[in-house]
């Protein structure tokens, strides 16, 4: 039994509004970080450029606009298969961890393929790596096909887990977007650098510099297992 119209509009509006709001803050953060108004410690040699910010902004806005429509519509269309009623808050955390692990495992292999396949790299992923010293919103500076295919990760997780709460999806989105903004910020990691197997900012900065390490995003676990962690590369550590 599908959602009624009001429920579908509500669900799409909440998800779309959340994505838009978080990313507009990310664009503002990106702009402010260029004038060094924050008392943060920066990753060495992570130099920003305002002309690049202006040049990257159109593609970022295009991708954000499409994402604000595509992801909410996708959730609504398959809601019967991926969303279950909230019956206890105790299951939110296990669901969240499951989604993040499965999504990041998918992202690791998809991202690694984009680098290992010369055609895919030159035609698709090379755009993202024009940002050798990215600012936060540069996570959306990429070929639209790249993030669209990458967006399959959470949906795969929802299906594997046999459905998740709508509330879990909201928390997942908040964590995922904020983490992407953070690892592209050039700011040294703070609290979550002490979280076991976390994908910290310094790791992603190394990926943008060397290209052959740290293909995962949220976790460093997959890079450790599959020997693409910088610690397993003697010349990259």
Residue 45 binned pLDDT confidence (cut-offs 50, 70, 90) = low
Instruction: Report d(CA 31, CA 20) in Å as an integer.
Output: 17
Give the model's pLDDT for residue 48.
Answer: 80
Cβ neighbours, 10 Å, residue 158: 26
Handedness of CA 220, 45, 58, 143 (dihedral sign): negative
Long-range contacts formed by 33-36: CB under 8 A, 24+ apart: 33/135, 33/136, 33/185, 33/186, 33/187, 34/135
Instruction: Report d(CA 220, CA 132) in Å as an integer.
Output: 20
Determine which of 109-113, 118-122, 163-167, 198-202 has the lowest per-residue pLDDT on average.
198-202
pLDDT top residue among 197 and 141: 141
Instruction: Report d(CA 21, CA 110) in Å as an integer.
Output: 27
CB-based contacts of 46: which residues, under 8 Å, 6+ apart?
Answer: 133, 186, 205
Residue 236 binned pLDDT confidence (cut-offs 50, 70, 90) = very low
What are the residue ranges spanned by the domains of the chain? Answer: 5-232
Question: What's the per-residue H, E or C state across 57-100?
Answer: HHHHHHHHHHHHHHHHHHHHHCHHHHECCCCCHHHHHHHHHHHH
pLDDT digits (tens, 9 = 90+) for 206-230: 999 899 999 999 999 999 999 999 8
Which run of H or of E encompasses 180? helix 166-183
pLDDT digits (tens, 9 = 90+) for 88-136: 999 999 999 999 999 999 999 999 999 999 999 999 999 999 988 889 9
Instruction: Report d(CA 145, CA 128) in Å as an integer.
Output: 12
């Amino acid at each position: 039994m599908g959602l009624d119209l009001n429920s579908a509009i509500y669900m799409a509006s909440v998800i779309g509004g959340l994505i838009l709001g978080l990313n507009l803050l990310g664009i503002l953060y990106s702009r402010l970080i260029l004038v060094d108004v924050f008392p943060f410690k920066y990753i060495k040699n992570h130099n920003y450029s305002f002309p690049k910010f202006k040049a990257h902004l159109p593609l970022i806005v295009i991708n954000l606009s499409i994402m604000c429509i595509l992801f909410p519509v996708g959730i609504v269309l398959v809601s019967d298969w991926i969303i279950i009623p909230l019956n206890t808050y105790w299951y939110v955390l296990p669901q969240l961890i499951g989604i993040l692990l499965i999504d990041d495992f998918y992202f690791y292999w998809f991202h690694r393929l984009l680098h290992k396949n010369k055609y895919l790299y030159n035609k698709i992923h090379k755009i993202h790596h024009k940002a050798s010293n990215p600012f936060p919103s540069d996570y959306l500076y990429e070929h639209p096909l790249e993030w669209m295919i990458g967006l399959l990760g959470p949906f795969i997780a929802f299906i594997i887990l046999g459905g998740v709460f709508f509330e879990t999806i909201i928390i997942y989105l908040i964590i995922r977007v904020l983490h992407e903004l953070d690892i592209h910020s050039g700011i040294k990691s703070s609290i979550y650098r002490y979280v076991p197997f976390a994908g910290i900012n310094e790791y992603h900065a190394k990926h943008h510099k060397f290209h052959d390490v740290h293909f995962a995003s949220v976790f460093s676990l997959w890079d450790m297992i599959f020997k693409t962690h910088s610690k397993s590369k003697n010349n990259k550590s």
